[in-house]
Structure 1
Amino acid sequence: MRRKGKPFALLAVTMILTTILYGCSGSGAKPAASGADTAAKGNDTAAAAPSKDKVEITWLVRTDPNMIDWEKEMIDGFQKEHPNITVKLEQIPQAEIDQRLTTMIASGKVPDVWSSNWANSGFATYKKMGALLDLTPYVKKDQAALSTINQNIMNIYQIDGKIYGIPMLSIGSFLFYNKELFDKAGVPYPTVNWDDTSWNFQKMLENAKKLSSDIGNADKQVFGVFNSMSANLQSWMFGGDFFKPEAYTSAVMGEPAVLTNKANKEAIQFNVDLIQKEKVAPNQTTIDAVSAIGDPFLTGRVAMVINGGWGFWAYQPAKFKWGVAPIPYHDGRKIALFVDPWNISAKSKHPAESWELIKYLVDPKNGGKKFMEKTSATPADTSLAEQWYKQIADKTGMKIEDIKTLNEGAIKNGREADNHLIDKFSVISNTINQTIAGVWNGQKSVDDGLAEIDKNLRSLNLK
């Protein structure tokens, strides 16, 4: 699956350009309508009109208590506006989405509306399976409804002149920290400036040492830091990558770069040292045990956590004040961006009605706005940017301009997540994870672990 004219390799450039999304939404950036119109040229298939008969469509979502209220509100509101369309909500735990979706697609009993990036496998995998409907005719018909979604973000899901997804959110990766633990230890809060080279991994380690306490006492221990990102995304932070650039342009993993990119070893060794040498980070066994009680950060067992921007809503229930900082600086640092779309199944029996639901979900005066308000997820819609800055500032006690700086920096230093771009990434991820847990727990050396990962990835022979 290769993008003609806009290959996956350009996603990093594309996402850098999206600084206009939040940084200067009034800068005259072209809205999605013009890009959608260009994409629609040459595709004269007319969008079907919604039926006047009573129909039922299925909306597949992840099981998430933070989002259920919004989902129910959307269904109620949508059905009032479209009394002939019944929306059936189907919830699946994230860990089960890949397996169950694959079964659904194979059997033809597919959900009508869902997000291809809400699983370990992502957009590339489901596009290559032929599971996604070409939305170009609908986008062409309803350009005005999508006019405030930035064109650059819309282009992420445009392949060979056809559009396969409508972005609903665009989030980066950050370091979240417990302000109360920082205050107790007398540690200053980290910067919000991504270009501040003094906020590097060595400085993070120094802070983690001061913030760690009672290590070894399972009932009291507090770890200074936990990097929750995958091994490959940790390598990105050090300028490394388990895969070659062409893997992201072709959506085919190809020959891995696990052993040829020297930054990979530096990144993995650093995290191992946090766990095994410095004792300021939990190993996988400890994380599993703590997670049985609750989220390690929310329970106060971790002072700093590196995580995706979903932390903005996942950490709202915290009983303590928390803040947000950049991923520490390192030469060549890149961080993961997660731009999630709404999609319609290629085999949907009711595509026109499903399209009406998607329009309702992304409407910046309705679904899109309420999604942001209820979840604090970073919106993909330019018209909601300033409101999001204020909302996050109010929840964190941080300044509006600081939130803006953090988000713009994440976009500038980011690239679209690996699982969104490489086909069969669920298999790839499982292969890596089978080995990396032993590395984190000290059962395998970094060299042996990386060699094993390289060997196992090559044995997949993915094409």
Structure 2
Amino acid sequence: MHNYSLTRRTFLRGAASVAGLAALAACAPAAPGAQPAGEDAAPAAEQVTLTFIVDTINEGHIQMRDKWAQEFMDANPEVRIDHQTVPQEYVTKIQTLYAAGTPADIYRYLQEVTPIITVAEKNMHLQLDDFVAADSYDIDDFRPDAITLYTWEDKLYALPRDYGNQNIYYNIDLFEEAGVPVPTANWEDRDWNFETFLDAAMKLTKREGDRTTQWGFLVNRAQRPWASWLYSNGGGLVHKDDRGVATESAMTDEASVEALQFVQDLMHVHKVAPTPDLESEMGGFELFASGRVAMMVNNPSAVNRYRTIEAFRWDVATLPIGKAERRGTGGGGTGWAAAAATSAPEWAWKFIAHISSAQAELDEVSVGATTPSRVSVVLSDAFLSPDLPPANSRGFADAQEYVVRDPVHVLWPEITQRIYNPKMDQLWSGTLDAAAVAQEIADEANPLFARTE
């Protein structure tokens, strides 16, 4: 139940070596001193080859990227796009190329794996600001917060590909059968809160003796989904300084602990959600698709998988709100970036501009597994698909207003892998309560947050 195409194992393996990647990237050859593309600085006529390296995402995406490459080459015969798909170990591949001093000219950048502050400090990516200005490239259609993900100290290091968030997917038929009002799709509604959510989950849970035959909810244990409960209760993963850099863990804040305990209790006290061992045995999506779970949290990019369900009606709703002034949803996205060491910065920029266009985002919508970062696309019928479920698909776009980005710190991937994730496993298993888990995280993470490199 992850929110992007990388497996958790791949993410952790990649995150473990981010620091080494960044250090080696700092030693990579500097980009040539070329001027941005424009009337007075046209790219050279001789043919150049640009490597375009991306993970699979899905088979439709491979064909679509081939199309992008061919379109670009047809329009620019002096350029060859070498599109390479990496079906497994994508993060490792990107890191290995950086370490060798031969990074991909263009690649799908994962800011949760290599923090934007690391990209900036180690000169890993081509800065795009001058190219944007020289070509009068309109970035206003992108959500401002999506652009912010790839900006550090007023320099832009990538263009957004998508901008995801979290929503509740729910089984309409089970709600009606239990006589429970369906949850709201209005992100400002405060009646759908922790208390009314728990009441619904309890009414939607069925038992035969000691055996649970239907659960009201399924806990998504990926970080962005579970962090959403903290944000919606006024808590968070970290505290940060004026620059937005994480300074210490916020897991021991009262609001954070309260939200964590609420989620743990769904499994181990109220027993309205399957425990991790049961989920692993039966499969998270499969439990929902088979009608054995009434609600679950997932990303809009997963919607096409839900559209394969024919046995019942389903829709999407907002996350419940706790004590926070407004909801918060874990999210963010991935971007298109060029290596600072590319030998053809003008052409690299032009290709990024091509694959970040509104038409390119519409192409991605057509093959699924994306939540568009352009306002015009995320609000389009092509994405919202009014003739298909969910009826409340506009909620996918509305949720983007409530996204809380991943923490920014040069060591965040390491802190996540070494501390947050394994400690949270103790919460999910019921080994420790929320206060104890939060304290262990803070005790081990805070010394790392104090480091700046």
* TM-score normalized with structure 1 length: 0.77
Mapped partners of 2:81, 2:383: distance in 1: 35
Q: Deviations over 1:71-126 (max 9, x none)?
A: 33333433333343133223254xx4444433332222212222333654443343
Q: Counterpart of 2:197 in structure 1: which amino acid? A: M
Does structure 2 conserve the Cα–Cα contact (< 8 Å) formed by 1:98 and 1:121?
no
Does structure 1 conserve the Cα–Cα contact (< 8 Å) formed by 2:235 and 2:250?
no
After the TM superposition, which of the residue ranges 208-217 and 124-133 deviates more from structure 2?
A: 208-217
Mapped partners of 2:104, 2:305: distance in 1: 26
Match for residue 235 of structure 1?
230
Q: Deviations over 1:292-318 (max 9, x none)?
A: x86654455532112333233453433
Q: Secondary structure at the match of 2:94?
A: helix
CA spacing shift, 1:357–1:106, aligned 2, 3 Å: same
Mapped partners of 2:281, 2:50: distance in 1: 40
Q: Deviations over 1:357-404 (max 9, x none)?
A: 21221222x312212233273322233344247734332151xxx544
* Alignment gaps of 5+ in structure 2: 1-32
Mapped partners of 2:121, 2:228: distance in 1: 23
Match for residue 310 of structure 1?
301
The CA RMSD measured in Å over matched residues stands at 3.1
Does structure 1 conserve the Cα–Cα contact (< 8 Å) formed by 2:249 and 2:441?
no
Q: Deviations over 1:32-91 (max 9, x none)?
A: xxxxxxxxxxx9943364443343322232332263343333334333333431332232
CA spacing shift, 1:58–1:298, aligned 2, 3 Å: farther
* TM-score normalized with structure 2 length: 0.79
Match for residue 157 of structure 1?
150
Match for residue 440 of structure 2?
452
- TM alignment of 1:28-107, pairs within 5 A: 45-47=35-37, 49-65=42-58, 67-83=61-77, 84-93=79-88, 96-107=89-100
Mapped partners of 2:239, 2:112: distance in 1: 22
Q: Counterpart of 1:359 in structure 2: which amino acid? A: A
Match for residue 429 of structure 1?
416
Match for residue 143 of structure 1?
136
Does structure 1 conserve the Cα–Cα contact (< 8 Å) formed by 2:65 and 2:83?
no
CA spacing shift, 1:313–1:128, aligned 2, 3 Å: farther
Mapped partners of 2:437, 2:278: distance in 1: 20
Q: Secondary structure at the match of 1:327?
A: coil
Identify which of 308, 314, 327 aligns with 2:319: 327
- TM alignment of 1:267-286, pairs within 5 A: 267-286=259-278
Q: Counterpart of 1:413 in structure 2: which amino acid? A: Y
Quote the offset at 1:279 in angstroms.
Answer: 1.3
**Residue 192 (structure 2) pairs with residue 205 (structure 1):** no
Identify which of 182, 186, 204 aligns with 1:189: 182
Q: Secondary structure at the match of 1:67?
A: helix
Mapped partners of 1:91, 1:295: distance in 2: 27
Does structure 2 conserve the Cα–Cα contact (< 8 Å) formed by 1:223 and 1:282?
no
Mapped partners of 1:300, 1:82: distance in 2: 52
CA spacing shift, 1:459–1:321, aligned 2, 3 Å: same
Q: Counterpart of 2:347 in structure 1: which amino acid? A: E
Q: Secondary structure at the match of 2:430?
A: coil
Quote the offset at 1:452 in angstroms.
Answer: 1.3
- TM alignment of 1:270-419, pairs within 5 A: 270-291=262-283, 296-298=287-289, 300-319=291-310, 320-332=312-324, 333-364=327-358, 366-375=359-368, 377-388=370-381, 391-398=384-391, 402-404=392-394, 407-408=397-398, 410-415=399-404, 417-419=405-407
**Residue 251 (structure 2) pairs with residue 264 (structure 1):** no
Mapped partners of 1:51, 1:287: distance in 2: 56
Q: Counterpart of 1:115 in structure 2: which amino acid? A: R
Quote the offset at 1:160 in angstroms.
Answer: 3.5
Q: Counterpart of 1:312 in structure 2: which amino acid? A: V
Q: Secondary structure at the match of 1:255?
A: strand
| Matched residue count | 407
CA spacing shift, 1:70–1:287, aligned 2, 3 Å: farther
* Alignment gaps of 5+ in structure 1: 1-42
After the TM superposition, which of the residue ranges 303-312 and 190-199 deviates more from structure 2?
A: 303-312
Q: Secondary structure at the match of 2:218?
A: strand
Mapped partners of 2:144, 2:238: distance in 1: 28
Does structure 2 conserve the Cα–Cα contact (< 8 Å) formed by 1:258 and 1:450?
yes
CA spacing shift, 1:135–1:263, aligned 2, 3 Å: same
Quote the offset at 1:282 in angstroms.
Answer: 2.5
Quote the offset at 1:418 in angstroms.
Answer: 1.5
Does structure 1 conserve the Cα–Cα contact (< 8 Å) formed by 2:237 and 2:250?
yes
Q: Counterpart of 2:397 in structure 1: which amino acid? A: N
Mapped partners of 1:462, 1:54: distance in 2: 45
Identify which of 235, 240, 246 aligns with 1:245: 240
Residue identity over aligned pairs, in percent, reads 23
Mapped partners of 2:173, 2:199: distance in 1: 18
Q: Deviations over 1:220-250 (max 9, x none)?
A: 654523234425443212111231132x734
Quote the offset at 1:328 in angstroms.
Answer: 0.6
Q: Counterpart of 2:377 in structure 1: which amino acid? A: L
CA spacing shift, 1:76–1:289, aligned 2, 3 Å: farther
**Residue 120 (structure 2) pairs with residue 127 (structure 1):** yes
Mapped partners of 2:149, 2:276: distance in 1: 34
Q: Counterpart of 1:304 in structure 2: which amino acid? A: M
Quote the offset at 1:434 in angstroms.
Answer: 0.8
CA spacing shift, 1:301–1:53, aligned 2, 3 Å: farther
Mapped partners of 1:150, 1:195: distance in 2: 20
Quote the offset at 1:341 in angstroms.
Answer: 2.4
CA spacing shift, 1:255–1:382, aligned 2, 3 Å: closer
Mapped partners of 1:100, 1:324: distance in 2: 36
Match for residue 172 of structure 1?
165
Does structure 2 conserve the Cα–Cα contact (< 8 Å) formed by 1:376 and 1:388?
no
CA spacing shift, 1:406–1:99, aligned 2, 3 Å: closer
Quote the offset at 1:203 in angstroms.
Answer: 1.5
Quote the offset at 1:167 in angstroms.
Answer: 1.9
